[in-house]
Amino acid sequence: MIQVTLIAGTYQPTRCGVAHYTDRLRTNLDLLGIPSTVLTTHAAAKTLNAPDVIGAVHDWQVSELGALVRSLHTRPTDILHIQHAAGTYGFERAIFLLPLLLRATGWRKPIVTTVHEYGWWEWRPQWLSASLLEWLKQWGQQHTWWDREDGFLLTCSDAILTTNTDAETVLRERLPAFDDRIHRLAIAPNIEVTPIDQTTARQTLRQTCNWSNETEIIAFFGFLHPVKGLETLLVAFKQIIATKPHVRLLLIGGVESLALVGEQAATYWHKLHTLVTTLGLDGNVHFTGYISAEAASRYLAGADLGVLPFHHGVTLKSGSLLTLLAHGLPVVATRPESPDRELDHCLTFISPRDPTGLAIALVELLNDRAKRHQLSMAGYTVVQNLTWDAIAKTHLQLYQSVLH
């Protein structure tokens, strides 16, 4: 039996997409007979209060690495699997030294690293000249000692995983010598589809929101955050109900996350509600707040369209998108700079920060039942094979390959 130890920056699955991914992976690995333990911050471990979630560090600064290294050397494990996204480590870079320190202190067990984002966050200290820094980055990368973005995190790993095409492309360009170590594993929908009769789901949702049975519902799903384009969506929705007064907007998701905490979250929640009132949309927009996965699934089953107007566009790394598609919803979303080919025929793409374009696209889709059916079927085809069971089995195969 393989014992896996995972490192997660801030392991709070209800507030962080990467932590939720890690949690789902662990659950499905356990079903395959692969137990795992998470090492994270003391605060996160205390919040979860679970025996297999261990607080190993207070934060992710360099001064904490010694304690983390000692903890790993004393913990029974076969594989170390690091889950990395900059924000989950408080944008601290000390984690990039961990594999080097482990190797230097006699660690010989395989290290696997999943980079959930890559290609945008390089080290640029003001105390080092730009020319010298660039030379160091290129020299280290050419000699495969380190890479220019993640230091020793990847070059000291036995396998490098990523969840999206953009990151994979940059990784292979920068680290050609590690081409056989790089693997892309697409994510799966955030939540399972709860079996429910669609007629019942539609009636229940409309009763819950105090809307008539004839109402058509546009649904947003995911954490509410300023980069999600919600202000653009509300302005667009104001335009929509001017010609289609029976349409309503449903915002499914909480506002508090690792990216937006405490007073910041409360302020943004208030800002969105104030904008709804200012636009005269009270009664036409329903905020669910954070709800259970089962409740969210039932809400989505009763909706007509999905919408994701993210500022940076939508790709297959979006669990929110995959969830909407898994529930059979035709989706209008913003186009990213590098769209995934798999999404070409299953989304209606619009430009970011364009409320009029968004309104037009949603109205056209509301008026075209055949197009909605076409997008629904195409979207479901994309996600039907993206399951957590398949992801866990692929991880197991990779674990077995680096152990032999």
In a structure prediction context, what are the per-residue pLDDT tens digits for the chain, which is 404 residues long? 899 999 999 898 988 889 999 999 999 999 999 999 999 999 999 999 999 999 999 999 999 999 999 999 999 999 999 999 998 999 999 999 999 999 999 999 999 999 998 988 888 888 888 899 899 999 988 999 999 999 999 999 999 999 988 889 999 999 999 999 999 998 999 888 999 998 999 999 999 999 999 999 999 999 999 999 999 999 999 999 999 999 999 999 998 887 778 889 899 999 999 999 999 999 999 999 999 999 999 999 999 999 999 999 998 889 999 999 999 999 999 999 888 888 888 999 999 999 999 999 999 999 999 999 999 999 999 998 899 999 999 999 999 999 98
Quickly count: other Cβ atoms within 10 Å of residue 159's Cβ: 22
Token output for 306: 């999905």
As beta bridge partners, residue 247 has: 216
What is the C-alpha separation between 404 and 399, in angstroms, rounded? 9
Output phi, psi for 243, to 5 deg.
-110, -20
Contact criterion met (CB below 8 Å) for 340 and 252: no
CA 381 to chain centre: 21
Give burial (CB, 10 Å; 0-12/13-18/19+) of 390.
middle
What is the structure's pLDDT at 364?
96
What is the structure's pLDDT at 260?
74
Helix residue spans in 256-318 (DSSP H): 262-278, 293-301
List, in order of start, the domains of the chain with CATH numbers: 4-188+387-403 (3.40.50.2000), 198-383 (3.40.50.2000)
- H or E stretch covering 19: helix 17-31
């660039």: which residue's tokens? 134
CA 284, 290, 294 angle in degrees (round to 5)? 95
Give counts: helices (H), strands (E), the chain. Answer: 15, 13
What is the structure's pLDDT at 294?
94
DSSP state of 226: G
What is the structure's pLDDT at 126?
84
Among 327, 329, 366, CA closest to 347? 329
